[in-house]
Amino acid sequence: MNVAGVAGSAGVLYLYARTFFDRAAALRAVAYFVLAGNVLGLLMDPWLVDGPAYFISILSFYLVRCDRLGWATVTLCFGAATHESLLIVLATLLFVHLATSSWRFEPRLIPFVGLPLLVYALIHNTSLVYGSTLTYEFWKSEYRDAILEARRHLDGDLVKATFLAFATSFGGVWILAALAIRGAPRFVAQARSCCRLSPWGSSRPPTGTAY
């Protein structure tokens, strides 16, 4: 399931990148994804990779990019039930959608935010979804100290741990991303038309009239 999730993520990532850029750039995106350390971790231990969480995350981005907030709500509800980090995705998508829509509020944003949060609250406070509730409290200082101590023990110190975390996640791709922030395309602009890919398959659609 992890392998299938990662493979599906690569496919959706290609489609997602194609809504912004041409085919070569989309293939570069897939290449960077495959070369990410955590994805390559599949060679060693499938449990290192959260394939379904990757898949739901990129699918949510793609659906919001295509202005399909209803379907994105469904995927994010599944995501909230799969992995807590999907709440970070939810917050990011909400922010980027509002920011690129000139902070215009839409009623459909209410279920988009509320339903995944409801799923998350049900999981953490009731036994309806998984049959039990979480036993640890991640906001407690003891838990936080234990995390930092674990990183110090494994990597030597926190600076080294941070560097290795960046290297393992994407490595040099972080540098490229920092270089490319300036002039990056807007997220929601021309969203409805961008998802209808041209059969020409490049960033230059045919200019001739259909016959």
Partner 1 sequence: MLPALAVGFLTASDWDRILTVAFPIVIVLACRVRLYWPFLVAFLVVQAVLSGLAIDRLTGYYREDLSHPNTSLTLALLVVALILVLLGALTAYVRAETDCLLDIERTGVTTTGRVSHRRVAAKTRRSLTNRAVGRFRCGQRHTPPADSAPRWTGNRRGVVVAVLYGPLPQHRQGGELPRSR
Name which of residues 143 to 182 contact partner 1 (CB under 8 A).
143-144, 146-147, 150-151, 154-155, 161-162, 164-174, 176-177, 179-181
For partner 1, give the closer residue by CB, 173 or 195. 173
130 makes contact with partner 1 (CB under 8 A)? no
211 makes contact with partner 1 (CB under 8 A)? yes
210 makes contact with partner 1 (CB under 8 A)? yes
Rounded distance, CA 79 to CA 57, Å? 7
For partner 1, give the closer residue by CB, 55 or 77. 55
Rounded distance, CA 53 to CA 76, Å? 10
70 makes contact with partner 1 (CB under 8 A)? no
The residues near 65 (Cβ < 8 Å, ≥ 6 apart) are 16, 19, 187, 188, 191, 194, 195
Residue 194 near residue 70, CB atoms below 8 Å: no
Within residues 100-129, the interface with partner 1 by CB under 8 A covers none
Rounded distance, CA 173 to CA 70, Å? 32
Rounded distance, CA 194 to CA 20, Å? 8
Instruction: Select from 66-74, 99-107, 121-129, 203-211 the region that touches partner 1 (CB under 8 A).
Output: 203-211
Instruction: Select from 48-56, 103-111, 114-122, 123-131 the region that touches partner 1 (CB under 8 A).
Output: 48-56
For partner 1, give the closer residue by CB, 74 or 161. 161
Beta strands in 117-163 (DSSP E): none
